[in-house]
Structure 1
Amino acid sequence: MNTHSNKTVLILGANSDVAKECILQYLERGFSIIASSRNLASIENFERENNIDSSKITLKYFDATDFSSHQKFYDDLSVKPNIVIYAAGFLVENQKALHDFESAKQMIEVNYMGAVSILNIIAMDKSNKNLERIIGLSSLSGVRGRKSNFIYGSTKSAFTQYLAGLRQELSSRKIIVNVLVSGYINTKINAGLELNKNLLMEPHYVANQIVNAGNSFSIVPNFKWKIIYFILKILPESLVSKLP
Protein backbone atom coordinates (compact mmCIF):
# COMPACT_ATOMS: atom_id res chain seq x y z
CA MET A 1 0.00 0.00 0.00
CA ASN A 2 1.33 3.42 -0.97
CA THR A 3 1.47 5.55 2.17
CA HIS A 4 2.74 8.69 0.44
CA SER A 5 0.38 8.86 -2.53
CA ASN A 6 -1.12 12.17 -1.38
CA LYS A 7 2.15 13.86 -0.40
CA THR A 8 4.12 16.33 -2.49
CA VAL A 9 7.81 17.23 -2.53
CA LEU A 10 8.88 20.63 -3.84
CA ILE A 11 12.48 20.58 -5.09
CA LEU A 12 14.00 24.02 -5.63
CA GLY A 13 16.98 23.72 -7.94
CA ALA A 14 15.86 20.39 -9.33
CA ASN A 15 18.46 20.31 -12.11
CA SER A 16 21.32 19.31 -9.80
CA ASP A 17 22.52 15.71 -9.97
CA VAL A 18 21.56 15.04 -6.36
CA ALA A 19 18.13 16.63 -6.86
CA LYS A 20 17.44 14.40 -9.87
CA GLU A 21 18.28 11.33 -7.80
CA CYS A 22 15.93 12.63 -5.10
CA ILE A 23 13.17 12.85 -7.70
CA LEU A 24 13.57 9.17 -8.59
CA GLN A 25 13.73 8.03 -4.98
CA TYR A 26 10.75 10.07 -3.81
CA LEU A 27 8.73 8.79 -6.79
CA GLU A 28 9.61 5.22 -5.80
CA ARG A 29 8.12 5.99 -2.39
CA GLY A 30 4.90 7.26 -3.92
CA PHE A 31 5.35 11.01 -3.56
CA SER A 32 4.35 13.52 -6.21
CA ILE A 33 7.06 15.97 -7.28
CA ILE A 34 7.16 19.66 -8.14
CA ALA A 35 10.53 20.06 -9.86
CA SER A 36 11.55 23.68 -10.19
CA SER A 37 14.57 25.11 -11.97
CA ARG A 38 15.71 27.68 -14.50
CA ASN A 39 16.61 24.83 -16.87
CA LEU A 40 13.34 23.00 -17.42
CA ALA A 41 14.53 21.46 -20.70
CA SER A 42 17.14 19.43 -18.84
CA ILE A 43 14.53 18.11 -16.41
CA GLU A 44 12.20 17.28 -19.31
CA ASN A 45 15.00 15.22 -20.86
CA PHE A 46 15.61 13.53 -17.51
CA GLU A 47 11.87 12.77 -17.26
CA ARG A 48 11.87 11.14 -20.70
CA GLU A 49 15.09 9.19 -20.12
CA ASN A 50 13.70 7.68 -16.92
CA ASN A 51 10.15 7.09 -18.21
CA ILE A 52 8.69 9.15 -15.39
CA ASP A 53 4.90 9.21 -15.20
CA SER A 54 4.06 12.81 -16.14
CA SER A 55 1.04 12.74 -13.82
CA LYS A 56 3.43 12.40 -10.85
CA ILE A 57 5.73 15.30 -11.67
CA THR A 58 5.08 18.99 -12.30
CA LEU A 59 7.78 21.19 -13.83
CA LYS A 60 7.86 24.82 -12.76
CA TYR A 61 10.26 27.64 -13.61
CA PHE A 62 12.19 28.98 -10.61
CA ASP A 63 15.06 31.45 -10.51
CA ALA A 64 16.68 31.62 -7.07
CA THR A 65 18.12 35.07 -7.80
CA ASP A 66 14.86 36.63 -9.01
CA PHE A 67 13.70 37.44 -5.48
CA SER A 68 10.70 39.52 -6.53
CA SER A 69 9.21 36.49 -8.33
CA HIS A 70 9.32 34.17 -5.33
CA GLN A 71 6.00 35.10 -3.74
CA LYS A 72 4.13 34.60 -7.01
CA PHE A 73 5.99 31.33 -7.62
CA TYR A 74 4.75 30.02 -4.27
CA ASP A 75 1.22 31.43 -4.59
CA ASP A 76 0.85 29.76 -8.00
CA LEU A 77 1.66 26.26 -6.73
CA SER A 78 -1.40 24.13 -7.36
CA VAL A 79 -0.58 22.02 -4.30
CA LYS A 80 1.32 23.26 -1.28
CA PRO A 81 4.19 20.89 -0.41
CA ASN A 82 4.67 18.46 2.46
CA ILE A 83 8.45 18.44 1.98
CA VAL A 84 10.66 21.20 0.56
CA ILE A 85 14.25 20.70 -0.61
CA TYR A 86 16.49 23.65 -1.43
CA ALA A 87 19.08 22.19 -3.79
CA ALA A 88 19.99 25.25 -5.84
CA GLY A 89 23.72 25.91 -5.82
CA PHE A 90 26.43 27.84 -7.62
CA LEU A 91 30.20 27.54 -7.33
CA VAL A 92 33.20 29.35 -8.76
CA GLU A 93 36.79 28.92 -7.65
CA ASN A 94 37.93 31.15 -4.82
CA GLN A 95 40.50 33.11 -6.82
CA LYS A 96 37.88 34.03 -9.40
CA ALA A 97 35.46 35.06 -6.65
CA LEU A 98 38.17 37.21 -5.05
CA HIS A 99 38.85 39.12 -8.25
CA ASP A 100 35.38 39.13 -9.83
CA PHE A 101 32.69 40.31 -7.46
CA GLU A 102 29.90 39.39 -9.88
CA SER A 103 30.92 35.74 -9.48
CA ALA A 104 31.02 36.08 -5.69
CA LYS A 105 27.66 37.86 -5.76
CA GLN A 106 26.06 35.06 -7.78
CA MET A 107 27.21 32.49 -5.22
CA ILE A 108 25.82 34.63 -2.40
CA GLU A 109 22.50 35.10 -4.18
CA VAL A 110 21.98 31.47 -5.23
CA ASN A 111 23.40 29.70 -2.18
CA TYR A 112 22.07 32.01 0.53
CA MET A 113 19.87 34.97 -0.39
CA GLY A 114 17.63 32.99 -2.74
CA ALA A 115 17.20 30.29 -0.10
CA VAL A 116 16.23 32.78 2.60
CA SER A 117 13.82 34.55 0.25
CA ILE A 118 11.81 31.52 -0.87
CA LEU A 119 12.06 29.48 2.34
CA ASN A 120 10.82 32.41 4.44
CA ILE A 121 7.77 32.61 2.20
CA ILE A 122 7.13 28.87 2.44
CA ALA A 123 7.81 28.59 6.17
CA MET A 124 5.66 31.56 7.14
CA ASP A 125 2.58 30.28 5.31
CA LYS A 126 0.73 28.96 8.33
CA SER A 127 -2.26 28.09 6.15
CA ASN A 128 -0.24 25.23 4.66
CA LYS A 129 -1.01 22.48 7.16
CA ASN A 130 0.77 19.98 4.88
CA LEU A 131 4.28 21.26 5.52
CA GLU A 132 6.24 18.77 7.61
CA ARG A 133 9.88 19.10 6.56
CA ILE A 134 12.38 21.50 4.96
CA ILE A 135 15.80 20.22 3.88
CA GLY A 136 18.64 22.47 2.75
CA LEU A 137 21.71 21.23 0.88
CA SER A 138 24.79 22.79 2.44
CA SER A 139 28.45 21.76 2.45
CA LEU A 140 31.41 20.89 4.66
CA SER A 141 33.00 23.96 3.06
CA GLY A 142 30.83 25.96 5.44
CA VAL A 143 32.11 24.33 8.63
CA ARG A 144 35.38 26.31 8.83
CA GLY A 145 36.82 29.09 6.72
CA ARG A 146 39.70 27.81 4.59
CA LYS A 147 41.78 29.84 2.16
CA SER A 148 40.98 27.61 -0.83
CA ASN A 149 37.22 28.17 -0.81
CA PHE A 150 36.19 30.61 1.92
CA ILE A 151 33.86 32.72 -0.22
CA TYR A 152 31.80 29.72 -1.34
CA GLY A 153 32.16 28.29 2.18
CA SER A 154 30.82 31.49 3.73
CA THR A 155 27.61 31.24 1.69
CA LYS A 156 27.11 27.66 2.87
CA SER A 157 27.95 28.57 6.47
CA ALA A 158 25.35 31.34 6.40
CA PHE A 159 22.78 28.95 4.90
CA THR A 160 23.46 26.35 7.61
CA GLN A 161 23.03 28.94 10.38
CA TYR A 162 19.81 30.17 8.78
CA LEU A 163 18.44 26.62 8.73
CA ALA A 164 19.45 26.10 12.36
CA GLY A 165 17.42 29.13 13.40
CA LEU A 166 14.53 28.20 11.11
CA ARG A 167 14.44 24.78 12.79
CA GLN A 168 13.92 26.49 16.14
CA GLU A 169 11.32 28.87 14.69
CA LEU A 170 9.26 26.02 13.25
CA SER A 171 9.62 23.50 16.08
CA SER A 172 6.39 24.62 17.76
CA ARG A 173 4.53 23.73 14.54
CA LYS A 174 6.18 20.26 14.48
CA ILE A 175 7.95 21.07 11.21
CA ILE A 176 11.38 19.44 10.93
CA VAL A 177 14.29 21.33 9.36
CA ASN A 178 17.39 19.38 8.25
CA VAL A 179 20.66 20.43 6.70
CA LEU A 180 22.69 18.11 4.49
CA VAL A 181 26.37 18.84 5.19
CA SER A 182 28.11 16.98 2.41
CA GLY A 183 31.67 16.55 1.25
CA TYR A 184 32.73 15.92 -2.33
CA ILE A 185 30.00 14.57 -4.59
CA ASN A 186 30.60 13.25 -8.10
CA THR A 187 28.44 15.90 -9.80
CA LYS A 188 28.67 18.41 -12.62
CA ILE A 189 29.23 21.31 -10.19
CA ASN A 190 32.54 19.64 -9.21
CA ALA A 191 33.53 18.60 -12.73
CA GLY A 192 37.10 19.61 -13.51
CA LEU A 193 38.10 20.10 -9.88
CA GLU A 194 40.98 18.02 -8.52
CA LEU A 195 39.25 16.05 -5.78
CA ASN A 196 40.31 12.99 -3.77
CA LYS A 197 38.60 10.12 -5.60
CA ASN A 198 38.52 8.05 -2.38
CA LEU A 199 36.26 10.66 -0.80
CA LEU A 200 33.87 11.17 -3.72
CA MET A 201 30.26 10.18 -3.03
CA GLU A 202 27.76 9.30 -5.72
CA PRO A 203 24.57 11.40 -6.11
CA HIS A 204 22.38 8.32 -5.58
CA TYR A 205 23.94 7.70 -2.17
CA VAL A 206 23.61 11.32 -1.06
CA ALA A 207 20.00 11.49 -2.28
CA ASN A 208 19.21 8.39 -0.24
CA GLN A 209 20.41 10.20 2.88
CA ILE A 210 18.10 13.12 2.08
CA VAL A 211 15.03 11.00 1.33
CA ASN A 212 15.55 9.07 4.57
CA ALA A 213 16.20 12.16 6.72
CA GLY A 214 15.24 11.73 10.35
CA ASN A 215 14.81 14.18 13.21
CA SER A 216 18.45 15.19 13.68
CA PHE A 217 19.36 18.61 12.31
CA SER A 218 22.61 17.75 10.51
CA ILE A 219 22.89 14.97 7.95
CA VAL A 220 26.56 14.16 7.23
CA PRO A 221 26.62 11.28 4.72
CA ASN A 222 29.46 8.73 4.72
CA PHE A 223 31.52 7.78 7.79
CA LYS A 224 34.72 9.24 6.27
CA TRP A 225 33.07 12.62 5.94
CA LYS A 226 31.60 12.33 9.45
CA ILE A 227 35.15 12.00 10.79
CA ILE A 228 36.36 14.95 8.70
CA TYR A 229 33.35 17.00 9.84
CA PHE A 230 34.09 16.48 13.54
CA ILE A 231 37.83 17.09 13.08
CA LEU A 232 37.11 20.35 11.24
CA LYS A 233 34.81 21.51 14.04
CA ILE A 234 37.40 21.00 16.81
CA LEU A 235 40.62 21.79 14.94
CA PRO A 236 42.48 24.84 16.32
CA GLU A 237 42.62 27.83 13.98
CA SER A 238 46.42 27.55 13.77
CA LEU A 239 45.99 24.12 12.15
CA VAL A 240 43.02 25.12 9.99
CA SER A 241 45.22 27.85 8.50
CA LYS A 242 47.61 25.16 7.25
CA LEU A 243 44.86 23.37 5.32
CA PRO A 244 44.59 24.03 1.59
Structure 2
Amino acid sequence: MNQNTNKTVLILGANSDVAKECIKQYVKKGFSVIAASRNMDSLRDFVAENRFDSKVTILYFDSVDFDSHQKFYDELPVKPHIVVYAAGFLVNNEKALIDFKEAQQMMLVNYMGAVSILNIIATDISNKNLERIIGLSSLSGVRGRKSNFVYGSTKAAFTTYLAGLRQELASKNVKVNALVIGYIRTKINEGLQLNESLIMEPDYVAKFIVNAGSSFTIVPNFKWKIIYYILKILPENLVAKLP
Protein backbone atom coordinates (compact mmCIF):
# COMPACT_ATOMS: atom_id res chain seq x y z
CA MET A 1 0.00 0.00 0.00
CA ASN A 2 1.35 3.43 -0.97
CA GLN A 3 2.25 5.40 2.16
CA ASN A 4 0.75 8.55 0.60
CA THR A 5 -2.68 7.03 -0.09
CA ASN A 6 -4.38 9.00 2.69
CA LYS A 7 -2.50 12.25 2.14
CA THR A 8 -3.76 15.31 0.31
CA VAL A 9 -1.95 18.02 -1.64
CA LEU A 10 -3.53 21.43 -2.20
CA ILE A 11 -2.20 23.15 -5.33
CA LEU A 12 -3.09 26.83 -5.59
CA GLY A 13 -2.82 28.15 -9.14
CA ALA A 14 -3.19 24.62 -10.46
CA ASN A 15 -3.75 25.58 -14.10
CA SER A 16 -0.09 26.43 -14.77
CA ASP A 17 1.98 24.01 -16.83
CA VAL A 18 4.25 23.18 -13.88
CA ALA A 19 1.28 22.71 -11.55
CA LYS A 20 -0.36 20.24 -13.96
CA GLU A 21 2.84 18.23 -14.07
CA CYS A 22 2.85 18.28 -10.25
CA ILE A 23 -0.68 16.87 -10.27
CA LYS A 24 0.47 13.98 -12.46
CA GLN A 25 3.44 13.21 -10.25
CA TYR A 26 1.62 13.57 -6.93
CA VAL A 27 -1.14 11.24 -8.14
CA LYS A 28 1.47 8.73 -9.29
CA LYS A 29 2.97 8.83 -5.78
CA GLY A 30 -0.43 8.03 -4.27
CA PHE A 31 -1.59 11.46 -3.10
CA SER A 32 -5.05 12.88 -3.49
CA VAL A 33 -4.93 16.36 -5.04
CA ILE A 34 -7.10 19.42 -4.59
CA ALA A 35 -6.47 21.49 -7.72
CA ALA A 36 -7.56 25.10 -7.23
CA SER A 37 -7.71 27.72 -9.97
CA ARG A 38 -9.92 30.33 -11.62
CA ASN A 39 -9.86 28.33 -14.87
CA MET A 40 -11.83 25.28 -13.81
CA ASP A 41 -12.76 24.27 -17.38
CA SER A 42 -9.13 23.80 -18.34
CA LEU A 43 -8.51 21.73 -15.21
CA ARG A 44 -11.59 19.59 -15.87
CA ASP A 45 -10.32 18.83 -19.38
CA PHE A 46 -6.88 18.00 -17.98
CA VAL A 47 -8.28 15.70 -15.30
CA ALA A 48 -10.59 13.94 -17.75
CA GLU A 49 -7.80 13.50 -20.30
CA ASN A 50 -5.58 11.87 -17.69
CA ARG A 51 -8.41 9.93 -16.01
CA PHE A 52 -7.65 11.40 -12.61
CA ASP A 53 -11.31 11.84 -11.60
CA SER A 54 -11.10 9.73 -8.45
CA LYS A 55 -7.87 11.33 -7.25
CA VAL A 56 -8.27 15.03 -8.12
CA THR A 57 -10.83 17.48 -6.76
CA ILE A 58 -11.20 20.75 -8.67
CA LEU A 59 -12.12 23.93 -6.79
CA TYR A 60 -12.43 27.59 -7.73
CA PHE A 61 -9.73 29.81 -6.24
CA ASP A 62 -8.90 33.42 -7.06
CA SER A 63 -5.57 34.45 -5.55
CA VAL A 64 -6.45 38.15 -5.62
CA ASP A 65 -9.93 37.84 -4.11
CA PHE A 66 -8.58 38.09 -0.59
CA ASP A 67 -12.00 38.25 1.06
CA SER A 68 -12.83 34.78 -0.30
CA HIS A 69 -9.74 33.03 1.01
CA GLN A 70 -10.96 32.17 4.51
CA LYS A 71 -14.20 30.71 3.16
CA PHE A 72 -12.28 28.78 0.51
CA TYR A 73 -10.03 27.24 3.16
CA ASP A 74 -12.84 26.52 5.62
CA GLU A 75 -14.80 24.65 2.96
CA LEU A 76 -11.98 22.41 1.76
CA PRO A 77 -13.16 18.77 1.72
CA VAL A 78 -10.06 17.82 3.73
CA LYS A 79 -7.28 19.87 5.24
CA PRO A 80 -4.05 19.39 3.25
CA HIS A 81 -0.81 17.68 4.21
CA ILE A 82 1.11 19.61 1.55
CA VAL A 83 0.35 23.04 0.05
CA VAL A 84 1.90 24.29 -3.20
CA TYR A 85 1.47 27.95 -4.16
CA ALA A 86 1.98 27.95 -7.92
CA ALA A 87 -0.05 31.00 -8.96
CA GLY A 88 1.94 33.54 -10.95
CA PHE A 89 1.60 36.55 -13.21
CA LEU A 90 4.24 38.20 -15.40
CA VAL A 91 4.44 41.21 -17.69
CA ASN A 92 7.67 42.62 -19.10
CA ASN A 93 9.44 45.37 -17.21
CA GLU A 94 8.78 48.08 -19.83
CA LYS A 95 5.05 47.47 -19.51
CA ALA A 96 5.18 47.29 -15.71
CA LEU A 97 6.97 50.66 -15.56
CA ILE A 98 4.34 52.56 -17.53
CA ASP A 99 1.19 50.65 -16.55
CA PHE A 100 0.84 50.38 -12.80
CA LYS A 101 -2.22 48.15 -13.05
CA GLU A 102 -0.07 45.49 -14.68
CA ALA A 103 2.63 45.94 -12.03
CA GLN A 104 -0.02 45.81 -9.33
CA GLN A 105 -1.42 42.55 -10.72
CA MET A 106 2.02 40.98 -10.37
CA MET A 107 2.20 42.18 -6.77
CA LEU A 108 -1.29 40.86 -6.04
CA VAL A 109 -0.83 37.40 -7.56
CA ASN A 110 2.84 36.71 -6.86
CA TYR A 111 3.02 38.07 -3.33
CA MET A 112 -0.11 39.42 -1.68
CA GLY A 113 -2.34 36.54 -2.72
CA ALA A 114 0.22 34.08 -1.45
CA VAL A 115 0.54 35.79 1.93
CA SER A 116 -3.23 36.02 2.30
CA ILE A 117 -4.00 32.33 1.79
CA LEU A 118 -0.80 30.91 3.29
CA ASN A 119 -1.27 32.91 6.50
CA ILE A 120 -4.70 31.33 6.86
CA ILE A 121 -3.32 27.85 6.27
CA ALA A 122 -0.26 28.31 8.50
CA THR A 123 -2.23 29.61 11.49
CA ASP A 124 -4.89 26.90 11.48
CA ILE A 125 -4.03 25.12 14.72
CA SER A 126 -6.79 22.57 14.11
CA ASN A 127 -5.06 21.14 11.03
CA LYS A 128 -2.85 18.35 12.33
CA ASN A 129 -2.20 17.16 8.78
CA LEU A 130 0.01 20.00 7.58
CA GLU A 131 3.55 18.82 6.82
CA ARG A 132 4.90 21.14 4.14
CA ILE A 133 4.32 24.42 2.29
CA ILE A 134 6.06 24.98 -1.04
CA GLY A 135 6.19 28.31 -2.85
CA LEU A 136 7.28 28.80 -6.45
CA SER A 137 9.65 31.75 -6.56
CA SER A 138 12.18 32.86 -9.18
CA LEU A 139 15.82 33.64 -9.90
CA SER A 140 14.50 37.08 -10.86
CA GLY A 141 14.08 37.80 -7.16
CA VAL A 142 17.68 37.09 -6.17
CA ARG A 143 19.05 40.51 -7.23
CA GLY A 144 17.42 43.60 -8.69
CA ARG A 145 18.25 43.88 -12.39
CA LYS A 146 17.08 46.53 -14.81
CA SER A 147 15.45 44.05 -17.19
CA ASN A 148 12.91 42.65 -14.72
CA PHE A 149 13.11 44.36 -11.34
CA VAL A 150 9.37 44.95 -10.94
CA TYR A 151 8.53 41.27 -11.38
CA GLY A 152 11.69 40.34 -9.48
CA SER A 153 10.67 42.46 -6.51
CA THR A 154 7.44 40.46 -6.11
CA LYS A 155 9.38 37.21 -6.10
CA ALA A 156 12.01 38.59 -3.71
CA ALA A 157 9.23 39.55 -1.31
CA PHE A 158 7.66 36.09 -1.63
CA THR A 159 10.97 34.33 -0.93
CA THR A 160 11.54 36.51 2.15
CA TYR A 161 8.03 35.73 3.37
CA LEU A 162 8.61 31.99 2.92
CA ALA A 163 11.92 32.21 4.80
CA GLY A 164 10.18 33.76 7.80
CA LEU A 165 7.26 31.33 7.54
CA ARG A 166 9.76 28.48 7.67
CA GLN A 167 11.06 29.81 10.99
CA GLU A 168 7.53 30.37 12.28
CA LEU A 169 6.47 26.80 11.55
CA ALA A 170 9.69 25.02 12.52
CA SER A 171 8.45 24.26 16.03
CA LYS A 172 5.42 22.51 14.50
CA ASN A 173 7.66 20.36 12.28
CA VAL A 174 6.14 21.91 9.15
CA LYS A 175 8.72 22.28 6.38
CA VAL A 176 8.70 25.31 4.07
CA ASN A 177 10.49 25.32 0.72
CA ALA A 178 11.12 28.03 -1.85
CA LEU A 179 11.61 26.78 -5.41
CA VAL A 180 13.89 29.39 -6.96
CA ILE A 181 13.27 28.74 -10.63
CA GLY A 182 14.83 29.93 -13.88
CA TYR A 183 13.33 29.82 -17.37
CA ILE A 184 10.63 27.21 -17.98
CA ARG A 185 8.91 26.32 -21.25
CA THR A 186 5.46 27.48 -20.15
CA LYS A 187 2.59 29.74 -21.19
CA ILE A 188 3.87 32.57 -18.98
CA ASN A 189 7.13 32.76 -20.97
CA GLU A 190 5.64 32.51 -24.46
CA GLY A 191 6.99 35.18 -26.79
CA LEU A 192 10.01 36.02 -24.63
CA GLN A 193 13.51 35.84 -26.10
CA LEU A 194 15.18 33.30 -23.80
CA ASN A 195 18.41 31.31 -23.93
CA GLU A 196 17.27 27.92 -25.22
CA SER A 197 20.03 26.04 -23.40
CA LEU A 198 18.72 27.31 -20.06
CA ILE A 199 15.03 26.51 -20.58
CA MET A 200 13.67 23.72 -18.38
CA GLU A 201 10.64 21.56 -19.10
CA PRO A 202 7.64 21.71 -16.71
CA ASP A 203 7.84 18.02 -15.79
CA TYR A 204 11.51 18.43 -14.86
CA VAL A 205 10.73 21.31 -12.48
CA ALA A 206 7.75 19.45 -11.05
CA LYS A 207 10.03 16.63 -9.91
CA PHE A 208 11.88 19.05 -7.61
CA ILE A 209 8.59 20.24 -6.14
CA VAL A 210 7.08 16.80 -5.57
CA ASN A 211 10.36 15.47 -4.12
CA ALA A 212 11.23 18.56 -2.06
CA GLY A 213 13.48 17.76 0.89
CA SER A 214 14.51 19.69 3.97
CA SER A 215 16.50 22.51 2.29
CA PHE A 216 14.76 25.85 2.19
CA THR A 217 16.06 27.03 -1.18
CA ILE A 218 15.70 24.55 -4.03
CA VAL A 219 17.19 25.54 -7.40
CA PRO A 220 16.43 23.02 -10.15
CA ASN A 221 19.17 22.38 -12.71
CA PHE A 222 22.93 22.71 -12.07
CA LYS A 223 23.28 25.58 -14.59
CA TRP A 224 20.72 27.62 -12.68
CA LYS A 225 22.41 26.73 -9.39
CA ILE A 226 25.63 28.23 -10.71
CA ILE A 227 23.77 31.36 -11.88
CA TYR A 228 22.01 31.59 -8.50
CA TYR A 229 25.27 31.56 -6.52
CA ILE A 230 26.96 33.99 -8.91
CA LEU A 231 24.05 36.41 -8.55
CA LYS A 232 24.23 36.13 -4.75
CA ILE A 233 27.90 37.14 -4.57
CA LEU A 234 28.28 39.46 -7.56
CA PRO A 235 29.29 43.03 -6.63
CA GLU A 236 26.63 45.66 -7.26
CA ASN A 237 28.65 47.43 -9.98
CA LEU A 238 28.72 44.17 -11.97
CA VAL A 239 25.04 43.43 -11.37
CA ALA A 240 24.30 46.84 -12.87
CA LYS A 241 25.96 45.73 -16.12
CA LEU A 242 23.69 42.71 -16.47
CA PRO A 243 20.72 42.94 -18.86
TM-score normalised to structure 2 length: 0.99
Q: What are the within-5 Å matches in structure 2 for residues 124-163 of structure 1?
A: 124-163=123-162
Aligned residues: 243
- Partner in structure 2 of residue 76 of structure 1: 75
SS of structure 2 residue aligned to 1:179:
strand
Q: Distance in 2 between matches of 1:41 and 1:120?
A: 28
Q: Which amino acid aligns with 1:44?
A: R
Whole-Å Cα distance in 1 between the matches of residues 45 and 148 of structure 2? Answer: 33
Instruction: State how 1:36-47 maps to structure 2 within 5 Å.
Output: 36-47=36-47
* Residue aligning to 1:237: 236
- Give the match's secondary structure for 1:103: helix
Deviation at 1:13, TM superposition (A): 0.1
Q: Match of 2:7?
A: 7
- 2:142 and 2:167 map into 1 onto residues whose CA distance is 20
Aligned partner letter, 1:56: K
> Hey, what does 1:190 align to over in structure 2?
189
In 2, Cα distance between equivalents of 1:123 and 1:30: 24
Q: Deviations over 1:11-60 (max 9, x none)?
A: 000000000000000000000000000001011111122122x1211100
* 1:129-176 CA-partner distances (Å, limit 9, x unpaired): 000000000000000000000000000000000000000000000000
SS where residue 91 of structure 1 aligns? coil
Q: Matches of 1:69 and 1:181 in 2, distance apart?
A: 28
Provide the rounded CA distance (Å) in 1 between the counterparts of 2:42 and 2:195: 28
Q: Structure 2: which amino acid aligns with 1:108?
A: M
Q: Which runs of 5+ in 1 are unaligned?
A: none
Deviations 1:191-236 (A, max 9, x none): 0000000000000000000000000000100000000000000000
Amino acid at match of 2:100: F
Superposed CA RMSD in Å reads 0.5
Runs of 4+ in 1 over 6 A off after TM superposition: none
Q: Which amino acid aligns with 1:45?
A: D
> 1:90-129 alignment to 2 at 5 Å?
90-129=89-128
CA distance in 1, matches of 2:165, 2:51: 36
For residues 50 and 59 of structure 1, the distance between their equivalents in structure 2, rounded to whole angstroms, comes to 14
Instruction: Report the alpha carbon displacement of residue 186 of structure 1 after superposing the two structures with TM.
Output: 0.5
Inter-partner Cα distance in structure 1 for 2:31 and 2:229: 34
For 2:93, the aligned partner's letter is: N
Distance in 2 of aligned mates of 1:97 and 1:77? 35
The code of the aligned residue for 2:30 comes to G
Could you list the runs of 5+ residues in structure 2 that have no partner in the other structure? Answer: none
In the other structure, the counterpart of 2:34 is 34
CA distance in 1, matches of 2:104, 2:63: 13
Alpha-carbon shift at residue 98 of structure 1 (Å): 0.3
TM-score, reference length from structure 1 = 0.99
